[in-house]
Amino acid sequence: MNRRELAQMIDHTLLKPEATAADVARLVDQGVALGVYSVCVSPSLLPIDARGLHVAVVCGFPSGAHAPETKAAEAALAVARGADEVDMVINLGLAKAGDWEGVYLDIDTVRQAVPAPTVLKVIIESAVLTDEEIVLACQAAKAAGADFVKTSTGFHPAGGATTQAVRLMKDTVGPQLQVKASGGIRTLEAAEAMIEAGATRLGLSGTAAILDELG
C-alpha cells in the first residue's frame, strides 16, 4: 500500500473537548495536505469549510448513554450543517444488559433520522464487550442498516482497537458492512495490521506521523 492509498482510508480526527474552530481549520489544512478521505470533528463545530474533504461527526459521544431521540436529533442537525458521515456510539448499558432489541432500536432511530446517502458508522466500543457481545452488536448494526461498524471512541479506559476485534467484526458483518478501526492506532505497523484484519477505514489523530513512515 502506498501513501496515497493509505491516506484515502483515513478519517483525520480531532475530538478533544477543548478543540476550537481555529483547531478545526488547521485540521482541514493538514487533511488537505495529507490527502486524507475525511476529517472527523465534534458536531458543535459545524459547519466547516472542508475544502473538498468529506466531513464526519460523532453522535452520542463518547458514552452512548443518550436517548435514541437525542442521538437522532443530533445526527440530523449535523447532516443539515454539512456532515456526510455520522459516527454514533451505541448504548453500552443496553449491550451489557443483553437488551439487543434496545441496541437495535437505538441504531435504527438514528438511521431513520439520517438515511442514505449519509454514511452511518456504529461505534460498539469493542474493548468493553465480550466476543459474543461484539458479534451481537455488529448484528444489530447490520439489521438497522448501518454502513460501518467501528471499534472505539478512543475515550474509554478499557482501550481502543485490536486486530482481534476488527477481524471478528468483519467476519460478522461480511461484505454488507465495512469496518472502521479507531482508538490507539499510532504507528504504520498498527495501521497496516488493522487493514489486514479487515478494516477499510481508520480513525487517526496522528495521521502525519503514520503517513511519514511511508516516506
Write the single-letter amino acid at 183.
G
Q: Quick check: 198 and 166 in contact, CB under 8 A? A: yes
The number of domains in the chain is 1
CATH number at residue 128: 3.20.20.70
**Domain span holding position 65:** 3-212
**Interval 44-71: pLDDT, tens:** 999 999 999 999 999 999 999 999 999 9
128: its cell numbers: 468493553
Strand partners, 89: 123
**Interval 83-108: pLDDT, tens:** 999 999 999 999 999 999 999 999 99
- Residues acting as catalytic residues: 87, 150, 180
Question: By C-alpha distance, which of 61, 59, 57, 54 is closest to 28?
Answer: 54
Q: Tell me what pLDDT residue 101 has.
A: 98
User: Per-block average pLDDT, block size 10, for the chain (215 residues)?
Assistant: 96 98 98 98 98 98 98 98 98 98 98 98 98 98 98 97 98 98 97 98 97 92
